Chain A
């Protein structure tokens, strides 16, 4: 356990600059966009007020976030892509480069599954760090919005409304429904494990391993996808269907971890 935590620390430490860069990028793009759009809005409102157009509606933070669909999506999508690539790189970086760190990593006096779990944990830490950072940014951005917009133009909005007004949040990052949130992130975690095990298949069997890996991902993907779109409402109660889905996820997870641990401890070649 102790060494597992040390390994997590090591992995997080190795990715810290990339993580900070992503955070900086997110903050920079979002704040710039927010400031600009808010300024335009405020200017427009002033203009309208000067011309005596009383039909001008007050606007809220949620409106501005809603205006910024694309600009807010960019850093989030970049982060998703980078973290997605890092799911692979977190393994391959230990094989490439002058240091070939795998030699050290796999001769540390600890069970190998700790290495596997530490890398997975590190990925989850990055994802949740980014999500928390995004939430924090939204709070900050709302504060910024409140400073910039005189209260007479401003309409108050719920924080949830702001989240809901941008597709990238509702669809990908922060489903507002609790169950959906759990399912999203649950499947995300499962996907990371499946990809890890696929990487280990390749690292263990090299060229034929690529074929095994693709087949493995296909099978797991089919199982998970099948579970998601399971449509047997004529035969089962919804609650039963949820239970069936949950069982499928658990089976895929169990099998993936068992295989992954076995590969990393017995089959891998540095």
Chain B
């Protein structure tokens, strides 16, 4: 379980996150929803230790962030963080070199699933292809959790569907997924749990099926209700 308790962050006196508390369970897909600038990406970055927090605590299966965290939680940022000159095959070797949890077979499977070319250079990929390769790098790790920042942003419809398929597939398997998106429709049926953020505060967090059966509301409905009022 990824657990955030009263996490706060300031950036030169501006509060970016305020008392953010939520959990993302293993075997579940949890989605951070909110408008741009609500603090979604920042939360993911705090979990990965890419930006400091000024209050509260973050624990992953009860442990604070340390270097082993990165073997257990794979992070897929909103861009392909691979030098432009690197060939995809080099990038895969790079990952294999550093991660003991790297699963070469799964990497190959993913490369086939997304129909990617090993000889292409990272800098020459189209946005959609880069996003797919980015998923390969994250999902080929035998990690317990996968954290994805805006996996659908700027991707065309066809590629979006291909990416959405990954969530229900064996490629994600029984891992815990935590993702951010502002394209709720894309994930309406994919997610177990939604955490709505507004101006760095958790406005509401809920189980999607529960809201559908108890309030007859869709995730989009709740989001509109909470964020636009």
- List residues of A whose CB falls within 8 A of some B CB: 3, 6, 10, 14, 97-104, 106-112, 204, 206-208, 265-270
Distance of A94 from chain B, by nearest CB (Å): 9
With A103-B77, A107-B50, A266-B52 known to touch, is A14 a contact of B70 (CB < 8 Å)?
A: no
A104: B residues at CB distance < 8 A = 77, 81-82
A-B residue pairs, 8 tightest by C-beta:
A109-B70, A104-B81, A103-B81, A269-B51, A270-B50, A103-B77, A109-B71, A108-B98
B window 31-84: CB within 8 A of A: 45, 48-52, 67-71, 75, 77, 79-84
**Count of B interface residues, CB-CB < 8 Å:** 28
Interface contact B84-A6, CB-CB below 8 Å: no
A264 to chain B, nearest CB (A): 11
A99 & B98 in contact (Cβ 8 Å cutoff): no
Can you name 29 A-B residue pairings with CB atoms under 8 Å? A6-B98, A97-B84, A98-B79, A99-B79, A99-B80, A99-B122, A99-B123, A100-B77, A103-B79, A104-B77, A104-B81, A104-B82, A106-B49, A109-B69, A109-B71, A109-B98, A110-B67, A112-B67, A206-B12, A207-B12, A208-B12, A266-B52, A268-B50, A268-B51, A269-B45, A269-B50, A269-B51, A269-B52, A270-B51
| Alpha-carbon gap, A208 to B10, bound state (A) | 14
Residues of A within 8 A of B50 (CB): 102-103, 106-107, 268-270
Establish whether residues B52 and A99, one from each chain, have CB atoms under 8 Å apart when the complex forms. Answer: no
Contacts of B99 in A (CB 8 A): 108-109
Chain B interface (Cβ within 8 Å of chain A)? 12, 45, 48-52, 67-71, 75, 77, 79-84, 94, 97-101, 122-123
A16 to chain B, nearest CB (A): 11
Known contacts A109-B70, A266-B52; is A100 also within 8 Å of B81 by CB?
A: yes
Closest to B46 in A: A269
Cβ contact within 8 Å between A99 and B82? yes
Nearest chain-B residue to A3 (Cβ)? B98
Q: Collect the chain B residues with CB atoms within 8 Å of residue A3's CB.
A: 98
8 Å CB contact of A108 from B52, B70, B79, B83: B70
Chain A residues, Cβ within 8 Å of B49:
106-107, 265
Query: Contact check: which of A10, A111, A267 meets B52 at CB < 8 Å?
Result: A267
Tell me the complex Cα distance, A5–B75, Å.
23
Asked whether A109 lies within 8 Å of B84 as measured between CB atoms, the reply is: no
Q: Bound complex: CA of A107 vs CA of B84, how far in Å? A: 19
Taking a contact as CB atoms closer than 8 A, the residue among B51, B84, B101 that contacts A99 in the complex is B84
Question: Is the Cβ of A98 less than 8 Å from the Cβ of B77?
Answer: no
Docked CA distance A103–B12 (Å)? 22
List chain B residues, Cβ under 8 A from A103: 50, 75, 77, 79, 81
Residues from chain B with Cβ under 8 Å of A100 in the complex? 77, 79, 81
Q: How far is the CA of A6 from the CA of B123 in the complex (A)?
A: 23
**CA gap between A30 and B51 in the complex, in Å:** 47
A90 to chain B, nearest CB (A): 13
CB contact under 8 A between A110 and B52, given known A98-B84, A103-B77: no
Q: Which residues of A contact B70 (CB under 8 A)?
A: 107-110
A110/B98 in contact, CB under 8 A: yes
Give complex CA distance A265, B65 in Å.
11
